[in-house]
Amino acid sequence: MTPGTDPDATDNAPENTLPAEPEQLQPEVVGVRTGMFGVRGSGDTSGYGGLVRPVLMPGGTQRPYGGWFDELADSLEAATSSQGLDTAIEKVVVHRGEITLFVRRDHLLAVAQLLRDEASLRFEFCSGVSGVHYPDDTGRELHAVYHLLSMTHNRRIRLEVTCPDADPHIPSIVPVYPTNDWHERETFDFFGIVFDGHPSLTRIQMPDDWPGHPQRKDYPLGGIPVEYKGATIPPPDTRRSYS
């Protein structure tokens, strides 16, 4: 044995550690970004206005996933099948040592309940939900991303749910994870996702009469001039473009 090594180190390693990446399907193109920051309509002041690149999302992952991810998938598959939710999971993505379950929005609340209550799963804690906006991902423009922790099994997973701009509704999971209350309000405030069944879905940071949702990619850059040591810096939407 090498001096200083712990024979039980492998047994004590975090469960989220995986030996290698499993086989990935082709990445999904969800848009095209021009310039450094994808600026639209007000000019690109970064100097990279001619840069064009696709916006890629990892494709679904084929089994075996590796590590404890297969055990998780088996347990969830058995739980959803017993509840008649065989189509609840749209796809599974294992990327950079993390696992994301894409859940169909109609089944989100039921899947969250199973993830929390099933003894083999026991994801007792949801640390929040974040919004993402992909304007060119037709029919799936808005994404809600949830991070779950199992304190029982020392595991972390991610749930992702999509909805279209034309129907931005996703079920609230506050009945299952009450800690999500303010997080859903913030995601509604900034992205316009409506969480059906939320006890009080109102803005949490922007004024009640604020127009639009400021973290969406189609929200215009704007502002007021800022005076700094005698010089005036114009707002973003009036700065000149370098392209």
Residues 38 and 217 sit within 8 Å (Cβ to Cβ): yes
Residue 237: inside a domain: no
Please give the share of the chain, as a percent, with pLDDT higher than 90: 60
- Cβ count near 125 (within 10 Å): 14
Half-sphere exposure of 65 (CA within 13 A, CB side): 23
Helices (H), 21-163: 69-82, 108-117
Same domain assignment for residues 148 and 175: yes
pLDDT higher at 229 or 114: 114
Say yes or no to pLDDT of 23 above 90.
no
Q: Which two tokens stand for residue 210?
A: 């604020």
Number of domains making up the chain: 2
- Domain assignment present for 243: no
Mean pLDDT of all residues in the chain? 86
pLDDT band at 37 (very low <50, low <70, confident <90, very high): low
Lowest-confidence region among 173-177, 185-189, 236-240: 236-240
What crossing angle do the helices spanning 69-82 and 108-117 adopt, rounded to 10°?
120
Distance between CA atoms of residues 21 and 98, nearest Å: 10
| Sheet containing 155-163: order of strands | 89-95, 98-103, 155-163, 142-150, 125-133
Q: Where are the beta strands (DSSP E) in the chain?
A: 28-34, 52-57, 89-95, 98-103, 125-133, 142-150, 155-163, 169-171, 194-196, 226-228, 231-233
Over residues 151-175, mean pLDDT: 97
Residues 78 and 31 in one domain: no
Q: Residue 166 and residue 164: Cα distance in Å, rounded?
A: 5
Tell whether the model's pLDDT for residue 18 goes beyond 80. Answer: no
Question: CATH number, domain at 200?
Answer: 3.30.460.80
**Do 7 and 1 touch, CB atoms closer than 8 A?**
yes
Give residue-wise pLDDT tens across range 211-242.
899 999 888 777 766 777 778 777 766 766 55
Residues 6 or more apart whose CB falls under 8 angstroms from that of 101 comprise 76, 89, 92, 111, 157, 158, 159, 160
What is the 8-class DSSP label of residue 19?
A: S
Asked if residues 66 and 22 have their Cβ atoms less than 8 Å apart, the reply is: yes
Q: Kindly report the CA angle at 17 between 156 and 95, in degrees rounded to 5? A: 70
pLDDT at 34: 78
> What does the alpha-carbon distance between residue 139 and residue 116 come to, in Å, rounded to a whole number?
29
Does a structural domain hold residue 18?
A: no
Same domain assignment for residues 205 and 142:
yes
Q: Would you tell me how many other CB atoms lie within 10 Å of the CB of residue 183?
A: 23
Is 32 among the domain residues?
A: yes
Q: Which long-range contacts (CB under 8 A, 24 or more apart) does 136-140 make?
A: 136/30, 136/31, 136/32, 136/55, 137/30, 137/31, 137/162, 138/164, 139/164, 140/30, 140/164
Q: Do the domain assignments include residue 182?
A: yes
- What was the pLDDT predicted at 10? 46
Judged by average pLDDT, the poorest of 8-12, 75-79, 98-102 is 8-12
Inside any domain, residue 44? yes
User: Which of 119, 184, 180 has its CA nearest to residue 148?
Assistant: 180
* Domain, as residue range, for 136: 62-218
